[in-house]
């Protein structure tokens, strides 16, 4: 369980605003699950508005991938192999330099679909 006391210094940006300091104090008094929900919502607020068609597109993609799994039309690999591929791609991207990591890693992560904790689609 996380501590509700204020860490010595997590932020690199000092919180000089009294309002920010009060907000942090109140947030740290929340139960762990409510602090997690608050953090989630704050981070989500930095992303900007959601793409209007994104939810429908993801639902269609999930439905398609599940159908492929059920009909046997999806090539699957063990979770360990999929994770090795992701690690290799991430290492390759880091060695290639800035800019490549996020695109390559996102591509590899998008290719995998978790299925009952054991298999991932290729």
CA dist 111 to 41, 65, 100, Å?
27, 10, 17
| Cβ within 8 Å of residue 103, ≥6 positions away | 93
3 state DSSP class of 67: helix
Render pLDDT for 46-70 as a digit per residue (tens, 0 to 9). Answer: 887 778 888 899 999 999 999 999 9
pTM score of the predicted model: 0.37
**Same domain for 66 and 115?**
yes
Render pLDDT for 81-122 as a digit per residue (tens, 0 to 9). Answer: 999 999 999 998 888 876 655 554 555 444 444 444 444 544
Return the minimum-mean-pLDDT range out of 5-14, 39-48, 70-79, 105-114.
Answer: 105-114
Residue 63 is part of which domain span?
54-121
Tell me, yes or no, whether 3 lies in a domain: no
Total of domains in the chain = 2
**Same domain for 114 and 91?**
yes
Catalogue the E-assigned strands of 22-93: 76-78
Q: Which residue has the higher pLDDT, 38 or 51?
A: 38
Closest CA to 34 of 21, 26, 17, 9: 26
């Amino acid at each position: 369980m996380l501590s509700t006391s204020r860490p010595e210094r997590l932020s690199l940006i000092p919180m000089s605003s009294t309002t920010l300091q009060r907000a942090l104090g109140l947030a740290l008094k929340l139960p762990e699950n409510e602090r997690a929900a608050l953090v989630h919502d704050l981070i989500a607020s930095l992303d900007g508005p959601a793409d209007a068609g994104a939810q429908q597109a993801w639902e269609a993609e999930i439905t398609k991938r599940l159908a492929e799994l059920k009909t046997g039309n999806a090539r699957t690999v063990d979770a360990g192999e999929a994770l090795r591929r992701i690690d290799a791609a991430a290492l390759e991207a880091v060695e290639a330099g800035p800019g490549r990591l996020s695109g390559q890693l996102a591509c590899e992560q998008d290719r995998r679909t978790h299925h009952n904790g054991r298999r991932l689609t290729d």
